[in-house]
Structure 1
Amino acid sequence: MTLPSDPVANLAALIRCPSVTPADGGALDALQAMLAPLGAVCEQVAFAEKGTPEVNNLYARLGTGRPHLMFAGHTDVVPPGDESAWRHPPFAARIDGGEMFGRGAVDMKGGIACFLAALARYVERNGPPPGSVSFLITGDEEGPAVNGTVKLLEWAAARGERWDAAIVGEPTCRETLGDTLKIGRRGSLSGTLTVIGRQGHVAYPHLADNPVRGLLTLAEALLSVPFDAGTDDFPPTNLEITSIDVGNPAVNVIPARAVASFNLRFNELWSVESLKAEIGRRLERASREARLRPGHAAPIAFEVEWRDRPSPVFLTRDRQLVGTLSASVAAVTGRRPELSTTGGTSDARFIKDYCPVVELGLVGQTMHMVDERVPLAALEALTRIYLRFLEDWFA
């Protein structure tokens, strides 16, 4: 039986499945078919929650012993957008100029294809690993991330699954393959600030309270003073105002309220709770010291609503995992990767509660773009990195 040792063929099979989140598009069936010749035990599990779409997920395990290595990723992809703008159809997996084009080529069907090929080559060379390798693959990473990795981990752990380390195959590299290894992620916290005023006619401002004035004052209180200077492992905590809205179509009406959305990306100097407290202190102080309009005695009235499911900060310090994977990158590329915690969130934020986790994948420059593509040479190189890691880690 032919093993799936060619990352190019593996990726082509996955790209041809139009798995735009939350649709599966046959991607998990295709992956399960490729895992079958390795002797992996596979199970697809669907999860649902009120207000969110049902999502299919795949858990596969090769071996029964320890140590147990998890590879995690997702087969769902973002929409291709205007397909006529693509050089090649987004789900055709066409090869042009030494590159494969297709939605998910980089983010992150390419990473899955390479790790699968690396495991197949390991088995060809060495037989089954002296431990276990599992695949934890979701169809919900690009969506709300409610019915995917977080529930699949809970499901697997309830069945007695335990892991010693995990690799997430997200496209972590910036410019060249292997230049970046993610060993943690900043936390993410989002909220909505509402300033409450009094609606009125713009010609009679003394009869109204314009909430836009108060919103600008409170926003300045959030933005003007740095939260920290960063740490050895993380950049400074940062807050961004992402939208401001008054819902007012008229130019001669002072609105009744003004709303701003904001997001913080924070380092290990903060927790979700301590950040919420700091935001509250800044807003309370500014609301007392300023007014919606000079001469008005009342403090600025405001409300803060926090979004569900904030992401905590985490940092992986497991020397065996980080050191072995860094050495594998160096052995294949000739340079050691930069250990980084930058970028957005990923499903590693769920996995870190179960075992040490790092992220290493392809160069992410074309992810989510028209003409998303990956050089065939990069697929081969990443496969060799993963293979070297498997051999050294299990050794």
Structure 2
Amino acid sequence: MNSFLLNTDEGAINFLQRLVEIPSLSGEETAVANFLVQQMKQSGFTAYVDTAGNAVGERSCPDAAGQITQEIVLLGHMDTVPGNIPVRLDDGKLYGRGAVDAKGSLAAFVVAAARAQLPPGSRLAVVGAVEEEAATSKGARHVVEHFQPDYCIIGEPSGWQGITLGYKGRLLLDYCHAQPMQHTAVPGGGAAEVGIAWYNQLMSYVEQFNADKPRLFDQLLPSIRHMQTNSNGLENRIELKLGLRLPPNFDMAAFEQWLVESSGEGTAVRSHSYEPAIQTSRTSPLAKAFNRAIRQAGAQPTYKVKTGTSDMNVVAPIWGCPIVAYGPGDSALDHTPNEHLVITDYLQAIEILQTVLTNLS
């Protein structure tokens, strides 16, 4: 495998391009993990692939007494959603699946961590996690049991001037209604009509919940991920798979009760993959460190909350440490056919991260 000199901008750009070129769908991250470990070893890290398949690189700077008093985890992810976008560097932009979500952030983590002069007593770990794009979040769930950081930075696109403080929660629903076949002329409708009626009830619930909540982050946001009807000649059925983006402090018990009450005979509704919403403070030491670094670079910081979810939802409730999400790129390009990362945004994010890591104490 090629190795890249991460202390130069050219090396950082070539490293990012190679990272994007290696396919890494959720559950298929072995090749990219091996590449990351090889590169981190070449750049002075102690690096390895852990038992979950995550790529982990560690650097330490003990204090005068040989002690480590502060641990920082930079948690990015290696996996991508499907979609083949030919990788190319064109007019200062790198195109390719994962360029924004979120290999750009992960590459910036590795480069900045390699360059940073760590404060005495510090240890940092860069983690390229597996299966962030899947509902499993396998990598983050493994990492949360093996580190207890004082600070955590999640690798997700915020733009180099942006600091992400929160993500909505998530709940997935699998709905199925089945009933005996009958002639279409018989009043009452078939399984499809029953399923659509139930979905309309759900939308009424959502509209009532959102009525007094003007901010998207505080609303309940549903989406249909899959819908199918079928028949075997004796029974017909409808199956729906729904995703719900949840606001902070969502009353799961009340909603689960509504699901029970709204499900009639022949209907099964399964809820799963729940993650609570998370929102942190702009006055935390970590958020302030980013604020200072961005201002020193001549820009006005912007604070964001996202309507999606990330590995922040998994680790923040357990670690309880100051945490933000940060990385180059426009998140509006996540998962799109036009996904691309502006190279100047990437290089500027590396500088911000390097400043934060050097000064965080």
CA distance in structure 1 between the aligned counterparts of 2:223 and 2:80, rounded to whole angstroms? 26
Query: What's 1:219 paired with?
Result: 199
- 3-state SS in 1 of match to 2:275: coil
CA distance in structure 2 between the aligned counterparts of 1:96 and 1:256, rounded to whole angstroms? 52
Aligned-pair CA distance for 1:145? 3.1
Offset from partner CA, 1:194-214 (integer Å, 9 cap, x none): 3444421123x16x7634443
Whichever residue aligns with residue 192 of structure 1, its letter is D
Whichever residue aligns with residue 69 of structure 2, its letter is R
Query: What's 1:238 paired with?
Result: 221
CA distance in structure 2 between the aligned counterparts of 1:18 and 1:190, rounded to whole angstroms? 27
Query: What's 2:297 paired with?
Result: 332
CA distance in structure 1 between the aligned counterparts of 2:79 and 2:25, rounded to whole angstroms? 6
Asked whether the 8 Å contact 2:55–2:127 carries over to 1, the reply is yes
Aligned-pair CA distance for 1:168? 1.1
- 1:1-395 alignment, distance < 5 Å: 4-5=6-7, 6=9, 7-24=12-29, 26-37=31-42, 39-47=44-52, 56-63=53-60, 65-81=68-84, 89-90=86-87, 94-123=88-117, 130-154=121-145, 156=146, 161-173=147-159, 177-178=160-161, 180-203=162-185, 205=186, 210-224=190-204, 225-228=207-210, 229-230=212-213, 234-248=217-231, 256-281=236-261, 283=262, 300-317=264-281, 319-340=284-305, 342-352=306-316, 353-354=318-319, 355-362=321-328, 363-370=330-337, 372-394=339-361
- 3-state SS in 1 of match to 2:296: helix
Asked whether the 8 Å contact 1:189–1:272 carries over to 2, the reply is no
Whichever residue aligns with residue 198 of structure 2, its letter is L
Asked whether the 8 Å contact 2:163–2:325 carries over to 1, the reply is yes
Query: What's 1:290 paired with?
Result: none
Asked whether the 8 Å contact 2:58–2:123 carries over to 1, the reply is yes
CA distance in structure 2 between the aligned counterparts of 1:244 and 1:37, rounded to whole angstroms? 48
Aligned-pair CA distance for 1:122? 1.9
Question: Alpha carbons of 1:193 and 1:76: their partners in 2 closer, same or farther (altered >3 Å)?
Answer: closer
Query: What's 1:293 paired with?
Result: none
Aligned-pair CA distance for 1:364? 2.7
TM-score, length basis structure 2 = 0.82
CA distance in structure 2 between the aligned counterparts of 1:234 and 1:196, rounded to whole angstroms? 35
Asked whether the 8 Å contact 1:271–1:313 carries over to 2, the reply is no
Whichever residue aligns with residue 134 of structure 1, its letter is A
Asked whether the 8 Å contact 1:196–1:211 carries over to 2, the reply is yes
What stretches of structure 2 of length at least 5 have no aligned partner?
A: 63-67
Please tell me the root mean square deviation across aligned C-alpha atoms, in Å: 3.1
Asked whether the 8 Å contact 1:366–1:372 carries over to 2, the reply is yes
Aligned-pair CA distance for 1:147? 3.4
Whichever residue aligns with residue 247 of structure 1, its letter is N
CA distance in structure 1 between the aligned counterparts of 2:44 and 2:302, rounded to whole angstroms? 33
CA distance in structure 2 between the aligned counterparts of 1:10 and 1:129, rounded to whole angstroms? 28
Aligned-pair CA distance for 1:165? 1.5
Larger radius of gyration: 1
CA distance in structure 2 between the aligned counterparts of 1:44 and 1:128, rounded to whole angstroms? 26
CA distance in structure 2 between the aligned counterparts of 1:233 and 1:332, rounded to whole angstroms? 31
CA distance in structure 2 between the aligned counterparts of 1:240 and 1:146, rounded to whole angstroms? 20
- 3-state SS in 1 of match to 2:112: helix
Asked whether the 8 Å contact 2:228–2:238 carries over to 1, the reply is yes
Whichever residue aligns with residue 328 of structure 1, its letter is A
CA distance in structure 2 between the aligned counterparts of 1:2 and 1:200, rounded to whole angstroms? 67
CA distance in structure 2 between the aligned counterparts of 1:322 and 1:304, rounded to whole angstroms? 44
- 3-state SS in 2 of match to 1:171: coil
CA distance in structure 2 between the aligned counterparts of 1:148 and 1:274, rounded to whole angstroms? 31
CA distance in structure 2 between the aligned counterparts of 1:276 and 1:386, rounded to whole angstroms? 42
CA distance in structure 1 between the aligned counterparts of 2:222 and 2:333, rounded to whole angstroms? 26
Question: Alpha carbons of 1:210 and 1:181: their partners in 2 closer, same or farther (altered >3 Å)?
Answer: same
Question: Alpha carbons of 1:202 and 1:16: their partners in 2 closer, same or farther (altered >3 Å)?
Answer: closer
Asked whether the 8 Å contact 1:108–1:169 carries over to 2, the reply is yes
CA distance in structure 2 between the aligned counterparts of 1:244 and 1:115, rounded to whole angstroms? 39
Offset from partner CA, 1:25-67 (integer Å, 9 cap, x none): 63223322332355422221233xxxxxxxx212222116122
Q: How many matched pairs?
A: 343
- 3-state SS in 2 of match to 1:301: coil
CA distance in structure 1 between the aligned counterparts of 2:224 and 2:106, rounded to whole angstroms? 35
Aligned-pair CA distance for 1:359? 0.9
Aligned-pair CA distance for 1:129? 5.0
CA distance in structure 2 between the aligned counterparts of 1:2 and 1:244, rounded to whole angstroms? 46
Asked whether the 8 Å contact 2:54–2:129 carries over to 1, the reply is yes
